[in-house]
Amino acid sequence: MAVLIIFHLLAMFVPALGDAFIGVNIGTAVTNMPSPTEVVALLKTQGIQHVRLYDADRAMLRALANTGIRVIVSVPNDQLLGIGQSNATAAKWVERNVIDHVPSTNITAIAVGSEVLTSLPNAAPVLVSALKFLQAALVAANLDQQIKVSTPHSSFIILDSFPPSQAFFNKTWDPVMVPLLNFLQSTGSYLMLNVYPYYDFMQPNAVIPLDYALFRPLPPNKEAIDSNTMLHYTNVFDAVVDAAYFAMSYLNFTNIPILVTESGWPSKGDSSEPDATIDNANTYNSNLIRHVLNNSGTPKKPGISVSTYIYELYNEDLRTGPVSENNWGLFYANGAPVYTLHLTNAGTVFANDTTNQTFCVAKSNADTKMLQAALDWACGPGKVDCSPLLHGQPCYDPNSVAAHATYAINAYYQQMAKSAGTCDFKGVASVTTTNPSHGSCIFPGSHGKNGSSINGTSLAPSTNSTNSGCLSQNYNGGSLTSSLILTLILSVAVL
């Protein structure tokens, strides 16, 4: 207890490196990947201010221009060898993928490769050269103060990570890690680290309690104590970050900050992954966000912020591997949340009420015939009350297929309790948090513009013989099968 109190007092005197932030990784292995404009619209409605891209896609970087959103661009692993072998190639990469976009797009870092030591070890010999060549190009463009260069590591390069004070980097990689850490230190950059308590928990020999991985409170007899330092660990995330600090100090580097480039929890898995659930994903990510934004640091470095990028924005259905690989996202490709994070008191990142206040609207570029079909279906087999669309009724104007379809498909989405897959309509519909109500045309799902509250189902037909299960089969838009209810109320552990 005394130890904890001392550290809390210390926390008040250690200068923070600036407030920690939460960012999000944007993977794009998604069927019907939203357009860059749609991605940016989602980021804005969710209050997401920091993103990491896995490449430097031009259209995405243009869409991010003038938004204030901070961006990490990446050198994909397959471009690493070329860049690490030629400073001219590195300079060209920076010219095309960085200099062309700043300052209108606020690029803050270049992530060079992804988990290179563990996933592409044959590129390890050129890794530090790649960083140095990219840095030289930034220096030449006078951008090195605002843009940092680093490389994201898997936490699996850290061995013996519990107790954290005994951790060290796999010595095989010392010939890379020592010059790398020298580079990070001399350029004022940070160690990029991917921290996955899920994988630590899933290790065959792991003895990690689920609660410890999920930041839930532990009974005192299960608390993890590092017997060398007497530091108490209440969650795996902090233990891994501290293991990285200790592994660096083992090599005599004591002042390099850590940026967690990936962390998250999958919401669904196959039979061998029973803890990949919506509940656990929600608990992990909600607690992670609160923990990071609280700026409490880790037991070894209290008050030193550890900003973190959540893995990831969208479920990536095109990734291969176990089912969990497709279910790390906070959102479906159509913009609907997979679950509602519990972020009371977490500030302004992520809209708090994504589920309460979402609407289904026609996409702006949608084909008129497809929209007409969606409108006809919703007002017919979908059993939506479309009478507000009739001549003289509040939603008749504007009298366009797009406007009427938006009303009808939204009414269907609300009628279906906004369950997964009910806002798709063969790809012409997408979820928004902007209320499309106008004038006296109040859309189902609206909450109290003027104190009134319209229930999601209040405009549903009075005929009660409907069985939504049958309806789904009629309009087989591809994803009406799941009746997953998004809203999940969980009690959040107070750390």
**What are the catalytic residues?**
115, 262
Rounded to the nearest 10 degrees, how much is the dihedral formed by the CA atoms of 454, 455, 460, 461? -80
The yes or no reply on residue 106 touching ligand NAG (CB under 6 A) is yes
The yes or no reply on residue 218 touching ligand NAG (CB under 6 A) is no
The yes or no reply on residue 351 touching ligand NAG (CB under 6 A) is yes
CB of 117 to ligand NAG, least distance (A): 7
CA atoms within 13 Å, Cβ hemisphere of 190: 21
CB of 272 to ligand NAG, least distance (A): 22
The full length of the chain comes to 495
CB of 456 to ligand NAG, least distance (A): 8
Contact residue for ligand NAG among 365, 440, 467, 491 (CB under 6 A): 440
> Do 260 and 124 meet the contact criterion of CB atoms below 8 Å apart?
no
Contact residue for ligand NAG among 141, 159, 202, 490 (CB under 6 A): 159
CB-CB neighbours of 110 under 10 Å: 27
- Report residue 453: phi and psi, to 5°: -125, 125
The yes or no reply on residue 204 touching ligand NAG (CB under 6 A) is no
Contacts of 103 (CB under 8 A, 6+ apart): none
> Do 350 and 46 meet the contact criterion of CB atoms below 8 Å apart?
yes
The yes or no reply on residue 108 touching ligand NAG (CB under 6 A) is yes
The yes or no reply on residue 206 touching ligand NAG (CB under 6 A) is no
The yes or no reply on residue 353 touching ligand NAG (CB under 6 A) is yes
Binding-site string for ligand NAG from residue 43 to residue 82, where x marks contact by CB under 6 A and - marks none: ----x--------------------x-x------------
The yes or no reply on residue 149 touching ligand NAG (CB under 6 A) is no
> Do 360 and 413 meet the contact criterion of CB atoms below 8 Å apart?
yes
Candidates 341, 306, 315; CA nearest to 487 is 341
Contact residue for ligand NAG among 187, 355, 406, 446 (CB under 6 A): 355
Contacts of 60 (CB under 8 A, 6+ apart): 26, 36, 39, 53
Which one, 18 or 380, has the nearer CB to ligand NAG?
Answer: 18
The yes or no reply on residue 419 touching ligand NAG (CB under 6 A) is no
Distance, in Å, from the CA atom of 136 to the CA atom of 144, rounded to the nearest integer, reads 8
Name 441's bridge partners.
438
Which one, 172 or 387, has the nearer CB to ligand NAG?
Answer: 172
Across the beta sheet with 148-150, the strand order is 148-150, 106-112, 70-75, 50-53, 22-26, 308-310, 258-263, 191-194, 152-154
Which one, 318 or 495, has the nearer CB to ligand NAG?
Answer: 495
> Do 273 and 322 meet the contact criterion of CB atoms below 8 Å apart?
yes
Which one, 108 or 372, has the nearer CB to ligand NAG?
Answer: 108
The yes or no reply on residue 129 touching ligand NAG (CB under 6 A) is no
The yes or no reply on residue 296 touching ligand NAG (CB under 6 A) is yes
Which one, 291 or 300, has the nearer CB to ligand NAG?
Answer: 291
Cα angle value 246/250/253 (rounded, 5°): 85
The residue whose two tokens read 């106008």 is 438
The yes or no reply on residue 185 touching ligand NAG (CB under 6 A) is no
Binding-site string for ligand NAG from residue 445 to residue 464, where x marks contact by CB under 6 A and - marks none: ----xx-x--x--x-----x
Contact residue for ligand NAG among 37, 85, 87, 483 (CB under 6 A): 87
Contact residue for ligand NAG among 142, 227, 252, 491 (CB under 6 A): 252
CB-CB neighbours of 215 under 10 Å: 24
Which one, 87 or 229, has the nearer CB to ligand NAG?
Answer: 87
In DSSP notation, 33-69 reads PPPHHHHHHHHHHTT--EEEESS--HHHHHHTTTS--
* Interacting residues toward ligand NAG by CB under 6 A: 8, 11, 47, 68, 70, 87-88, 91, 103, 106, 108, 121, 136, 159, 170, 172, 251-252, 290-291, 294, 296, 340, 344, 348, 351-353, 355-356, 440, 449-450, 452, 455, 458, 464, 487, 495
